[in-house]
Structure 1
Amino acid sequence: MKQKTLRLDGGLPAVVVPDAPPLASKRRRKPLTLDKVSFFAVFLGVPLAIYLLFVIWPFLQAFAYSLTDWSGFSPDQNFIGLENYRRIFTDDIFMKAMGNNILLVICLPIITIILSLVLATFVTVGGSSKGQIKGLRNSSFYRVVSFFPYTIPAIAIGIMWGQIYDPSGGLLNGILTSLGFDQFKSYPWLGDKSTAMIATMFVIVWGFVGFYMVLFVAGIKGIPAELFEAARIDGAGRFRTAVSITIPLIRDNIQTAYIYMGILALDAFVYMSALNSGGGPDNSTLVMSQQLFFTAFSKGQFGLASAMGVVLAITTLIFSGLVFLVNRLTGGGKDVSL
């Protein structure tokens, strides 16, 4: 590095000032080769083309159809602008369905994630408070049993629980009656407005709690056992350990689970159709996807149904964005130091 010598007036000693370092030379871009081009084409171009073709393009088509009065069974498509959107937001039935979806998206993820976290904690670090950190005895058996409902197709789960809830000869009423609760002898769980939604949410939680328990178990297994041992030595109880160690260190897993469960709650078509195909008493279990299906294939109003689909898609995007935003505002983007 070159230096400059400056002499100051008044006989003061010279000051040596180093020159500024030369600017870093720009790195030369390596020329594209056939290998690089083929790599980008296969691993970036093909997935992007598939995504554009099967995700973005159908959504754009649906939006275009939503601006018409297309019946779905004729080539005639008259442009009517935003009339379909005005109709659905002034339709009491669709707004009721949207309210049911919002209720599901609030309750289902919270209930499922809390139960899954509790079960995952029990089978990983919820064992004896003495000795090695471990889960409950026979924890592997509990994992298999709890995960089993997830392996059953959703339509089969809906049909099975529809038979269990049957008021005339269902298993649930039979068990309750045998225990002395005669008021449940012919109780219509899915036919009563006050219990239809609760019974339906129970079925969905039953079907997914085991899957998310396994997801959280994998996350908890990645936490060093020394952290739990240190918390035990410091006198932290199980609840304090879960709040201060487990939840912060598997936060990404919880966020992923919340988004997936929220998307399921905003759809819930299979479960709702299998348990209450007509929307339940006073449309108490009707969801937007059911109303969309009925509008398109029963009424022959595909333009209006496309508008419902666009609203459902935008609602899902808004929900996912809110989850990411809340997670970041509450410190989710920060690294947790071990």
Structure 2
Amino acid sequence: MEDTTQRAGKDVTGSGGRGSEDRLTPGMRLRLAVAFVLPPRFTPDSVRYDRRYRKLDQYRFIVWFLAAPLLVYGIFVVSPFVQAFFYSMTDWTGYSSSYRFTGFENYERMWNDDKFWDATRNSLLLLVVAPVVTLALGLFFSYMLTAGGRRRSEAVAGVTGSGLYKIVYFFPQVLSLAIIAVIWARIYSPRSGALNAGLDAVGLGSWQREDWLGSSWAIWCVLIVLCWSFVGFYVVLFSAAMSSIPNEIYEAARLDGAGRSLTFFRITFPLTWETVRTGWVYMGIQALDAFALVNVMVPEHGMDVLPSYLFSKAFRDGQAGYATTIGVALFLITLVFAAVMMRIGRRDRIEM
């Protein structure tokens, strides 16, 4: 009985000792903090063999591994955004180092600027319509090239010459947007443009316009060029996603009597949704950044989108502070759009 009592007392004492060891003293916290920034070879043995150090060592590897990329990202990406927020509250001209802090005057001016709201409406129209049209065409063409042509020996197969079609569709991606804008500006030219000449050749002369790019049709002309220039990229992107779908799934659908439309909406589209969602965000950002097309194609004051209006205020009017305010608005629109699309487009992952 006495031995049992002594052993129990020792156990209590031992557990109490371990509990005291588990408590971090200020000195131990300091040693662990120093060990976090020191290389492992310089870590004292009194810290190296502590179980808390082993956990700390795992986080140290992750932190040091990400330190350099995060530093570069902070300097070249985050820092310009912070500077833009600061300069949006100044009257900086962009041509001198002097400026005056004005608070929210630029934001109040932007709120009452009719031209800003016209440019915003044009940008939002492109943001809504361009991804829908471009992704719909990309999905249709990629499905036809990947699974639209059936053969007796295969469950699914692309149409004849699908490899050549992919090259043709992707060709606009090789060209610069500035070159595309120049080519289409010539097509829309009222005197020697191919559009008016083509309409006249097929007996639709009443549809001709004297100024396609200087009227209310300008936004729709830019929209057509934007969709045409990017649809090839999504044809290749969606074709790669559809090619990763196992043929056994298509074979099972074919045995069940599913047609092309039912196969697309019940199999192909759900299994490529993650790619479609990513493409939607990317195309929306491209639609918001239609500066090159508008600046090259559309005559001055014909129409504006947010990037072109920002450019005119910064480099033509010398109002860099107000231009950065417009840039902040464009940044917030892009951020909200990406967040909403990633949120509403979320769905349970389909396990193969």
TM-score scaled by length of structure 2? 0.81
Cα deviation per residue 1:188-237 (whole Å; 9 max; x = unaligned)? 322331x2211111111110001011000000000001111111111112
Higher helix proportion (structure 1 or 2): 2
| Counterpart pick for 2:228 among 196, 206, 210 | 206
Corresponding residue for residue 191 of structure 2: 168
1:262 corresponds to 2:280: no
RMSD between aligned residues: 1.9
Distance (whole Å) between structure 1 residues aligned to residue 53 and residue 101 of structure 2? 54
Percent identity of paired positions between Structure 1 and Structure 2: 39
Distance (whole Å) between structure 2 residues aligned to residue 74 and residue 46 of structure 1? 33
The secondary structure found in structure 2 opposite 1:306 is helix
Corresponding residue for residue 176 of structure 2: 153
Distance (whole Å) between structure 2 residues aligned to residue 250 and residue 66 of structure 1? 41
Cα deviation per residue 1:165-185 (whole Å; 9 max; x = unaligned)? 111001122222122222356
| Counterpart pick for 1:181 among 204, 208, 214 | 204
Q: Offset at 1:148?
A: 0.4
1:322 corresponds to 2:340: yes
Shift of the 279–263 alpha-carbon distance from structure 1 to 2, 3 Å rule, reads farther
Cα deviation per residue 1:117-173 (whole Å; 9 max; x = unaligned)? 000000000002643110100110110000001110000000000001111001122
In structure 2, the gaps of 5 or more residues are 1-50
Corresponding residue for residue 349 of structure 2: 335
Work out whether residues 120 and 305 of structure 2, in 8 Å CA contact, stay in contact via their aligned partners in 1.
yes
1:220 corresponds to 2:249: no
What is the one-letter code of the residue matched to 1:156?
Answer: I
Corresponding residue for residue 69 of structure 1: 91
TM-score scaled by length of structure 1? 0.84
1:301 corresponds to 2:319: yes
Distance (whole Å) between structure 2 residues aligned to residue 279 and residue 46 of structure 1? 45
Distance (whole Å) between structure 1 residues aligned to residue 210 and residue 160 of structure 2? 38
Higher mean alpha-carbon deviation, 236-245 vs 87-96, is at 236-245
Distance (whole Å) between structure 2 residues aligned to residue 316 and residue 185 of structure 1? 36
| Counterpart pick for 1:245 among 259, 263, 267 | 267
Corresponding residue for residue 291 of structure 1: 309
| Counterpart pick for 1:192 among 215, 222, 234 | 215
In structure 1, the gaps of 5 or more residues are 1-25
Query: Which structure would you say has the larger Rg?
Result: 2
Work out whether residues 178 and 296 of structure 2, in 8 Å CA contact, stay in contact via their aligned partners in 1.
yes
What is the one-letter code of the residue matched to 2:125?
Answer: L
Work out whether residues 214 and 299 of structure 2, in 8 Å CA contact, stay in contact via their aligned partners in 1.
no
